[in-house]
Chain A
Amino acid sequence: MSASKSRIDLAVGVFLLLAFATLMVLAISSTNGRLPVIDDNSYQVSARFSNISELRVRAPVKIGGVRVGEIADIQLDPLTFEAVVTLELRRSAGEIPGDSSAGIYTAGLLGDRYVGITPGGDPEPLADGDDMLLTQSAVVLEDLISKFIFGNADNKKSDANDSSEESTP
């Protein structure tokens, strides 16, 4: 009796240890490991866009294609009807110049939307709670296509769109 009982104890013990080890490994290796603790290493700035298209909360913020933060919040300004996007930036990304511009871009042709920051030249960096003044709204594919089809897309406008696509950070 006692022999089989100690075997059961052993089996349960091994199971529990293995199970907790599995949970730890899963938690570390298969998730993004983001805990909702208040993080000192990031700060928030806001940017206003006339159109954010399919931008979602927690979409990445990138400079030069490198992720430097994420979208913390998206609200509609009830007076101007602009989208107010709060960006949460990591301090480890360095001091971003205050006159940097933010634009909404698409990863790939039909991929997810993200915010790209093009650094400016202001010696004063962006601080917590600042507003980014230079913004560029999302390119809406339908508008582009309808301009193309219905012929009121003159060469100048499509050139402007082309150059904006090329300046993707």
Chain B
Amino acid sequence: MKQSVASIGNTGRFLFTIFCASRPRRDFLTDLIAQLYSVVVRSLPIIAVGGAFVGMVMTLQGYRTLSTYGATNSVGTLLGLSLYRELGPVLTALLFIGRAGSSMAAELGLMKATDQIAALSLMAIDPVAKTVVPRFWAAIIGMPLLCGFFCSFAIVAGYIEAVYLLGLDGGYFWSALQSSVDFIDDFVVAFIKCAVFGLIGALMATYTGFNAEPTIEGTSVATTQAVVNGSLLVLVFNFILSATLFK
């Protein structure tokens, strides 16, 4: 009990350290681009495939349920609102944590186990600024962009299924989608949520990786913790944000 409260405090202090270490340095942009590539760009395939299938299954289930009430023209509303309000940000965050959070934690854990972090300190280079900060900001910048891809793949896949497989009218699909999704209340809020989820996922991954036991077991424990704690926190914060941000 005492330990878990202490670890919450440690995480908060670690977040503060990251923000303090986020001063612009000479090679910050180079590091950030390298991390954007390995953390965000390489997550794109899983996000795209995941988004397409989520869009298709939402359309299919929405069609089946709504056809009982003769309201199949509202499939676009169902898909748009459920995507932007919940599924887009949450599923992108979970996929992202599974794909990128685990690798971040494992990388940092291995750096710790092979004394690379201690070596950086010996060379008077701030290890947090060099290893943690680029990953952290790459995740915060990348998550909303990935969510944009997720939502667009889901909508396009849902549209193709609705129009070409289920025989719904394409115009009804788009007009229902457009008229029900509000620009500020649904669209912008979805991307605010994404940035918060990116922060949570990156914070858990870098915290567990950076503070891992410097052994092989420690690295594997850190990887597991990064994914489990990150995913749980994303779900918890999703509720909090949904309750406060959406009207």
Contact = CB atoms under 8 A, between A and B. Distances in A.
B145 A23 contact: yes
B178 A31 contact: yes
Interface in A16-56: 16, 18-20, 22-23, 25-27, 29-36
Given A11-B41, A12-B37, A25-B152, A32 B179 contact: yes
**Residue among B40, B41, B80, B186 having the largest count of chain A Cβ atoms under 10 Å:** B41
Contacts of B155: 26, 30
A31 B146 CA distance: 18
Interface in B131-183: 144-146, 148-149, 151-152, 155, 174, 177-183
Interface residues of A, number: 22
Dominant secondary structure of chain A at its interface with chain B: helix
Contacts of B181: 30-32
Contacts of A25: 152
B33 interface: yes
A8 B179 CA distance: 40
Given A30-B177, A33-B183, A8 B152 contact: no
Size bin of chain B's contact surface: 20 to 34
Contacts of B80: 30
Nearest to B152: A22
Contacts of A122: none
A8 B42 CA distance: 11
B183 A35 contact: yes
B109 to A, nearest CB: 24
A32 B178 contact: yes
B247 to A, nearest CB: 9
B237 interface: no
Interface in B188-237: 191
B184 interface: yes
A19 B181 CA distance: 20
A165 interface: no
B184 A36 contact: yes
B148 A26 contact: yes
29 contacts: A8-B33, A9-B33, A11-B37, A11-B41, A12-B33, A15-B40, A15-B145, A19-B146, A19-B148, A22-B145, A23-B144, A23-B191, A26-B151, A26-B152, A26-B155, A27-B183, A29-B174, A30-B151, A30-B177, A30-B178, A30-B181, A31-B178, A31-B183, A31-B186, A31-B187, A32-B178, A32-B183, A34-B183, A35-B184
Listed from nearest, the 3 A-B pairs whose CB atoms lie closest are A19-B145, A23-B148, A31-B183
